Structure 1
Amino acid sequence: MMETLKLGSLTLTWLNGGDTFMDGGAMFGVVPKPLWSRKYPVNEKNQIELRTDPIFLQMNGKNILIESGLGYGKLSDKQKRNYGVTEESKIVESLAELELTPQDIDIICMTHLHFDHAGGLTKRTENGLISMFPNAVIYASDIEWNEMRNPNIRSRNTYWKENWEPIVDQMQTFTDEKEIEHDIKMIHTGGHSDGHCIITIESDGERLVHMGDLMPTHAHQNVLWVLAYDDYPMDSIQAKQEWIPATMKSKDWFTFYHDGHYRALKWDEEGNIVEAVKRERKQG
């Protein structure tokens, strides 16, 4: 069963993009474990569960994805161990439940292009790698797209040519802000990566903010709790200062790609959860 969120006249559905268990210390940067472990469960290996689940919605007759999932059949056994992968993408199966196929996707909005977000954009076949969503326009910031194709010594570990070479002709980039289908906005923030952006969606007076990896889980609400993976942590903090208190004040939704426990929630100005869509967890 896939979780959904009603936003005005829209329905958002979380697809199964795969599951990873990453080092909790890296995910909370300089924050001491006794603090962050109160906010987010951690296992005996110091790993925390991080889903990689795209969000699907339909708007103006278009089938739209936010992010693309981890991908399937592209990671080596060593990579699976390193990233704590317990499940790869089941996007085809998720879309089938909605009576859709990957060919039906029209638009994909990417907050950034790290492997755990962009891995699902391509797939392996007997004849090599091809686009997973061949009919989609894929949006990302121009800074992000340029760095993905020309990674530096640090970022080459996460920007992989397997995830971009088959989709070159599908990419559309923007500089500061991009409006899509009138009610979706992609806004460049930097921070986690130089080209990182956040996404807002509005419908019938309701609004959500998708912070991407500036707030990968609900436990990253504190503006100072940024990832050791962030290339520009002060930019992350600045963007969080700008967006999180204002979104809390207006009681808009936050949605998550990585959170293993919450799909979406609203906080009041004191940081109390006032409404939430929880992830349904398998029993046993």
Structure 2
Amino acid sequence: METMTIGRAKLTWLNGGVTHMDGGAMFGVVPRPLWSKKYPSNENNQIELRTDPILLQLDDKNYLIESGIGKGKFSEKQLRNYGVFEESKLDQSLAEVGLKAEDIDEVLMTHLHFDHACGLTKYENNELVSTFPNATIHVSQTEWDEMRNPNMRSKNTYWEENWKPVKEQVVPFDQEIEVADGLRMIHTGGHSDGHCVIKFDDGEDKFIHMADLMPTHGHQNPLWVLAYDDFPVTSVHVKKELQDEAYSSNRWFIFYHDAIYRALKFDDEKKIAESVEREQYPYE
């Protein structure tokens, strides 16, 4: 597992599983000859997208950014269609750092699409229960409302089994919340109406998790947004605004989906200056 320290924050990437989604959908209107130079694809035109939660240890508390895809949550058809070659091994990852799921104090959910939220619940004696029973779950009010009342498009990604068992743990917020000193969740919209990003500031040490506004390093171009985005024009504008601030303040970009990099920092020419690369784990 990869670990890095940014100011007071220690980040550790856990094994939350993987999906392989259509590259065309993940890069929207961008032609394949362009995006394929930035991010590799397989023979089925799918790109590897990790779903690895980030354990954030800050001021003696254990936070989790996103929740992974869980285990035993997909049908055979879904496993095939979503390219799930590996399901979550979250318990094993936590054990490697001396923790259990019960030790997670707060879960920070940028949004609740299935590839981010399936790990919130698990099967226990054929019943769905909370994976993190002692945690407060933070998500925007807009996202929480749509999760429980999806429209005909979003019902394919907002699954009842991912929210009902944890509804008593969810504490939604409006536009912004400071979860801890210097750690903020900010509602952006774009990818989903309730999508959020996470920022951390500790003096000169800073990071941003842009979630699905910039799911991989291949999506650095502010115009390259997903066909899955509900509000792509919003995505373009808010993405550029967030990136410009991050570049000017020398923030680390941290990733949940990127199969190559865990974290990146860019120079004045917006080229990679520092990186934390992902170790390659063989599929079981």
TM normalised by structure 1 equals: 0.98
Aligned CA-pair RMSD: 1.1
Q: Secondary structure at the residue paired with 2:167?
A: helix
Whole-angstrom CA distance in 2 between matches of 1:41 and 1:9 = 34
**Shift in Å, 1:248:** 1.4
Alignment of 1:147-158 (within 5 A): 147-158=146-157
Match of 2:255? 256
* Seq. identity, %: 61
Unaligned 5+ segments in structure 2 are none
Q: 1:79 to 1:283 in 2, by over 3 A?
A: closer
Deviations 1:39-86 (A, max 9, x none): 001111000000000100211221100000011011111000010001
2:273 maps to amino acid: V
Unaligned 5+ segments in structure 1 are none
Match of 1:200? 199
Alignment of 1:154-193 (within 5 A): 154-193=153-192
**Shift in Å, 1:203:** 2.9
Q: 1:111 to 1:283 in 2, by over 3 A?
A: closer
Length, aligned pairs only: 283
> Do the aligned residues in 1 keep the contact of 2:187 with 2:197 (CA within 8 Å)?
yes
Whole-angstrom CA distance in 2 between matches of 1:203 and 1:157 = 39
Match of 1:209? 208
Q: Secondary structure at the residue paired with 1:95?
A: helix
> Do the aligned residues in 1 keep the contact of 2:123 with 2:129 (CA within 8 Å)?
yes
Asked if residue 233 in structure 1 is aligned to residue 225 in structure 2, the reply is no
Whole-angstrom CA distance in 1 between matches of 2:282 and 2:123 = 32
> Do the aligned residues in 1 keep the contact of 2:10 with 2:58 (CA within 8 Å)?
no
Match of 1:5? 4
**Shift in Å, 1:209:** 0.5
> Do the aligned residues in 1 keep the contact of 2:199 with 2:208 (CA within 8 Å)?
yes
Write out the 4+ residue segments of structure 1 that deviate beyond 6 Å after TM superposition: none
Match of 2:58? 59
**Shift in Å, 1:9:** 2.8
Whole-angstrom CA distance in 1 between matches of 2:46 and 2:28 = 13
Whole-angstrom CA distance in 2 between matches of 1:283 and 1:156 = 33
Whole-angstrom CA distance in 1 between matches of 2:51 and 2:237 = 25
Deviations 1:2-26 (A, max 9, x none): 0012101321000000011110000
Q: Secondary structure at the residue paired with 1:169?
A: coil
2:66 maps to amino acid: E
TM normalised by structure 2 equals: 0.98
